[in-house]
C-alpha cells in the first residue's frame, strides 16, 4: 500500500497500478483514440481496459480469471491457450480486424524462474499468433515480455513480422522487474 501507483490508482478509480503503464505508453505513442478497436489479452482486473475505454476505444477483453464488468467492455472469460476460447474471441470480433492488441498476460508464477519464463514466452507467442491473424495492416501490438531465456529470439521474430518494434519501460513498471513492453507497428504481410 506504500506504492505511489497503487494509491494513485485508487484515487483515480483504476482497478490496478498497471493502468499507468498503458497510460504512459499511450501518451507517448498515441495508440488509442476514439473508435479504436482494442483486444485486451490478460485483462483482469481491468486496468488496461479502463484506460482504453476512457480514451473512447471499443474493447474486447479476455482473461482466464473472472473480471468485474466495465461499461463499454465486452469480456470473455476463458483460457487463451484453448481453441474454444480463441474461437469465442474471433466470434466477438465478427470478422472485424483490430486496430490494437494489448497483452499484459503473465502465467501463474510457480517460483521456478526457468519454468515461469518459458510459460511467459509461450503466452507471448500465442498473442503474436492471434495478432498476426486479426490485426489491421497499420495496427499495433503492445506486449509485456519478461527479459530472459527466449526474449531475444522473440524480439527477432517480432522484427520480421512488423516494420517497427519499440522497447518501452514505463515509470509504473517496478525497477526490479524484468518486464518490458514491446510496441510493434505495421504488420508485414497483414491479413486484408
Sheet bearing 37-41, strands edge to edge: 73-77, 58-63, 37-41, 98-103, 135-146, 179-187, 162-168
Q: Which residues are catalytic?
A: 144
Cα 120 from Cα 7, distance rounded (Å): 28
Residue-wise pLDDT tens digits, 25-62: 999 999 999 999 999 999 999 999 999 999 999 999 99
Residue-wise pLDDT tens digits, 117-148: 999 999 999 999 999 999 999 999 999 999 99
Q: 510496441: which residue's cell? A: 183
Cα 38 from Cα 135, distance rounded (Å): 10
Amino acid at each position: 500500500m506504500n506504492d505511489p501507483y497503487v494509491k494513485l490508482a485508487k484515487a483515480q478509480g483504476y482497478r490496478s497500478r498497471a493502468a499507468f503503464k498503458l497510460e504512459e505508453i499511450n501518451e507517448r505513442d498515441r495508440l488509442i483514440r476514439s473508435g479504436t478497436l482494442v483486444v485486451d489479452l490478460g485483462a483482469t482486473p481491468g486496468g488496461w481496459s479502463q484506460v482504453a475505454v476512457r480514451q473512447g476505444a471499443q474493447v474486447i477483453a479476455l482473461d482466464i480469471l473472472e473480471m468485474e464488468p466495465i461499461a463499454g467492455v465486452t469480456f470473455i472469460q476463458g483460457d487463451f491457450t484453448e481453441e474454444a476460447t480463441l474461437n469465442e474471441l474471433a466470434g466477438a470480433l465478427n470478422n472485424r480486424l483490430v486496430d490494437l492488441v494489448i497483452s499484459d498476460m503473465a502465467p501463474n508464477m510457480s517460483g521456478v524462474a526457468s519454468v515461469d519464463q518459458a510459460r511467459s514466452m509461450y503466452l507471448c507467442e500465442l498473442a503474436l499468433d492471434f495478432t498476426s491473424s486479426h490485426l489491421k495492416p497499420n495496427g499495433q501490438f503492445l506486449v509485456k515480455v519478461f527479459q530472459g531465456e527466449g526474449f531475444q529470439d522473440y524480439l527477432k521474430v517480432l522484427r520480421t513480422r512488423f516494420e517497427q518494434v519499440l522497447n518501452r519501460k514505463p515509470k509504473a513498471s517496478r525497477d526490479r522487474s524484468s518486464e518490458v513492453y514491446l510496441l510493434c507497428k505495421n504488420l508485414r504481410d497483414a491479413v486484408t
